[in-house]
A and B are shown apart, each in its own frame.
Chain A
Amino acid sequence: MSVNTQQVRHIAKLARIAMSDGELERLVPELNAIIGWVEQLAEVNTEGVEPLTAVIDQKLRLRDDVVTDGNIRDDILANSPEAQHGFFAVPKVIE
């Protein structure tokens, strides 16, 4: 498989990265080289092989469903590019 400019534009949109036409054009051959290279995995027979999701076998731990921290609003907002009235401020979303 390979990607064309239109598909790369779509991927950039999904990834929320603004790109100029020039950047998109430059990325097409770069991405195709990488995609072509990783596609060699197709030659590996993986029939009946379960996808690996945990590299070291262990059970996910459960913990009691209780609040263990909180009351740190100012800490959370401390690095925000724009915080107002104790909230993150973003451009208007609803008309």
Chain B
Amino acid sequence: MSELTTKTIAELRDGFRGGEFTAREIAEQHNAAVVAARTLNAFTVETPDEALAAADAADLARSSGKAGPLAGIPLGIKDLFATRGVDTTAGSKILSGFRPTYESTVTANLRKAGAGMLGKLNMDEFAMGSSNETSAYGPVISPWRRKGSNVGLTPGGSSGGSAAAVAASIAPGATGTDTGGSIRQPAAFAGICGIKPTYGRCSRWGIVAFASSLDQAGSMARTVRDCAVLLEAMAGFDPQDSTSLDLPVPEWEAKLSSDLKGMRVGIPKEYRIDGVPQDINALWDRGIEWLKDAGATPVEISLPHTKYALPTYYIIAPAEASSNLARYDGVRYGLRVEGEGGLDSMYAATRAEGFGAEVKRRIMIGTYVLSAGFYDAYFTKAQRVRALIKQDFRKAFESCELILTPTAPSAAFGIGETTDPLAMYLNDVFAVPASLAGLPAMSVPGGLDEQGLPLGLHLIGNELDEQIVLNAGLAIEQRAGFTHRPEKWW
């Protein structure tokens, strides 16, 4: 039996269908990889039995010719997705022991497609963080290390467990969620691919809410094709989410093509910012050359409100979070701390004990910007600037079909190295504008920096145009020849 954990989703699917190996063999090898990689702290819950049950069902379905598109594929599921009967904590102590009696639409879609679940993946608490250090269950350790160093690095965040599990070949693919870069930044840090589709493509039903106008699920895997395969199974209209798009899911995988003839690639001049390492700007230039080689024409574009995207995000996201997280009151689920007696004291004591420092900070900011007397000056103002940011993209897409930028302003950093909250927020400087505009965006690995760490290239498409994002991702993947995997030390 060959090493199945190093295969891509497409290879596993095709090998399973062709009878080269069984779904049970795939699941067993991945279950073993999960156990062997516990040092990485990528999983908050392991569900080997679920993976095996889905595998047995897939083997049975294959023998009767009814195997689904993801039959035989075991996946990691970010702990933000409600999974029936399996702990769903969103990386928070306040949801410790919460076992949903229902299943999120996205994971239900994946199960319907035949996929199995290896376990729940660690993440920043309520998806608030860029390094996985805010998880109540301890940080995920990246499988990557700097050349000649054994300092523990962050896999990025908030989908850090997803990125680490996929990069370390524990899972062939994983779900992620992206509110302001939480799929793309960890994908870049971990040398894998990750796509956030257009807002509304994937149902938010059953995903623990952070900032509802921004939250969007997406796929993370080692190849562009695998991201397309996964996303196709995850996406789709859901009447239970009022912002779900009532559109058919395109055949992204079947239509993958790295031929970009006639395409114009926008290069936003405002993304050339100070303090970005030379390696990253050099990779950006190489990315432009690769897309030219694939037939595209680079054009300079302007997104004039880029510098205001992060401050806009840090008003809107905390405001929505403070409202969404009001539900954690010690009454219906999760932690309850009695306090000094009375209902109000119970609320305050429960939330004091259950939330971590970053979540409290964001709830406080959100409460402040929504409070009487400040609402217009902060929240409404931010919504107006958000409209301008959206308009910037609308104008830009009149002169191009695609935008190329770096994914993150640095490579992965060490755990504990960034302690200033504002410095941490800057991680998402390139990722947040596309989130505010609801656009599909993807990170694809482009190369290693001089420390031997992966760097990502970031592709942004127009509304509903995931296809061009994936196609350009494929063109980069073919030219970058990124086959680096972290050397196994765990």
Binding site for B on A (CB under 8 A): 1, 3, 8, 11-19, 27, 30-31, 33-35, 37-42, 44, 46, 49-56, 58, 60-61, 63, 72, 75-76, 78-82, 88, 90-93
Please give, as numbers and ranges, the residues of chain B lying within 8 Å of A30 by CB-CB distance.
Answer: 361, 421
Contact (Cβ within 8 A) B422 A34:
yes
- A90 with B311, Cβ < 8 A, contacts A17-B363, A56-B245 known: no
Q: Tell me if A14 and B371 are in contact (CB < 8 A).
A: yes
Given known A27-B364, A78-B99, contact A17–B348 (CB-CB < 8 A): yes
Query: Can you list 10 A-B contacts with CB-CB less than 8 angstroms, sorted by A residue number?
Result: A15-B367, A17-B360, A38-B314, A51-B387, A81-B334, A88-B331, A91-B342, A91-B343, A92-B343, A93-B342
The residues of A that contact B342 with a CB separation of less than 8 Å are 91-93
A93-B384 in contact (CB<8A) = no
Contact between A56 and B311, CB atoms less than 8 A apart: no
Q: Give every chain A residue within 8 A of B347 (Cβ-Cβ).
A: 16
B380 at the interface (CB under 8 A from A): yes
CB distance from B407 to the nearest CB of A (A): 21
A50–B97 Cα distance when bound, in Å, is 43
| Complex Cα spacing A11 to B348, Å | 12
Given contacts A38-B311, A56-B463, contact A12 B346 (CB under 8 A): no
Q: Which chain B residues lie closer than 8 Å to A27 at the CB level?
A: 361, 364
**Chain A proximity mask over B303-341: 1 for CB below 8 Å, otherwise 0:** 001001001101100000010001001111111101101
A44 CB to closest chain B CB (Å) equals 5
Contact A52 B383 (CB under 8 A): yes
Which of A17, A54, A82, A93 is close to B343, meaning CB atoms less than 8 Å apart? A93
Shortest CB-to-CB span from A3 to chain B, Å, is 7
- In the complex, what distance in Å separates the CA atom of A72 from the CA atom of B99? 15
Query: B158 contacts the other chain (Cβ, under 8 Å)?
Result: no
Q: How many A-B residue pairs have CB under 8 A?
A: 168
| Closest chain B CB from A39 CB (angstroms) | 8
In the complex, which residues of chain A have a beta carbon less than 8 angstroms from the beta carbon of B199? Answer: 55-56
In angstroms, Cα B151 to Cα A27, docked, is 30
- Report the separation of the CA atoms of residues A44 and B307 in the bound assembly, to the nearest whole angstrom: 11
Q: Are A34 and B343 in contact, CB atoms less than 8 angstroms apart?
A: no
Are B308's CB and A52's CB within 8 A?
no
Chain B residues with CB under 8 Å of A46's CB are 381, 384-385, 387-388
**What is the distance, in angstroms, from A13's C-beta to the closest C-beta of chain B?**
8
Q: How far is the CB of A21 from chain B (nearest CB, A)?
A: 13
Known contacts being A18-B349, A52-B390, A61-B242, is A11 close to B368, with CB within 8 Å? Answer: yes
Q: How far is the CB of A53 from chain B (nearest CB, A)?
A: 7
Other contacts beyond A49-B387, A91-B343, A93-B343: 10, CB < 8 A: A14-B371, A38-B311, A51-B384, A53-B213, A56-B463, A58-B246, A61-B242, A75-B102, A76-B332, A81-B335
B373-429 contacts to A (CB < 8 Å): 374, 377-378, 380-388, 390, 421-422
Question: B213 touching A88 by the CB < 8 A rule?
Answer: no
Decide: A44 and B388 in contact? CB cutoff 8 A.
Answer: yes
A31 and B368: CB pair below 8 A? yes
Report Cα–Cα, A11/B364, bound state, in Å. 6
Whether the pair B364, A52 counts as a contact (CB closer than 8 A) is no
On whether the beta carbons of A60 and B242 are closer than 8 Å, the reply is yes
Q: Which residues of B contact A61 (CB under 8 A)?
A: 239, 242, 246
Contact B315 A8 (CB under 8 A): no
A66 to B3, CA, bound (A): 53
A41:B314 contact, CB within 8 angstroms: no
- In the complex, A47 Cα to B66 Cα: how many Å? 59
CB contact between A55 and one of B213, B355, B381 (< 8 Å): that residue? B213
In Å, the complex CA distance between A27 and B361 comes to 8
CA of A79 to CA of B88, assembled, Å: 11
Interface pair B388/A34, CB less than 8 Å apart: no
Checking B332, B381, B422 against A80 with a beta-carbon cut-off of 8 angstroms, the contacting residue is B332
B200 within 8 A of A: yes
- Report how far A72 CA is from B102 CA in the complex, Å: 11
Whether the pair A90, B346 counts as a contact (CB closer than 8 A) is yes
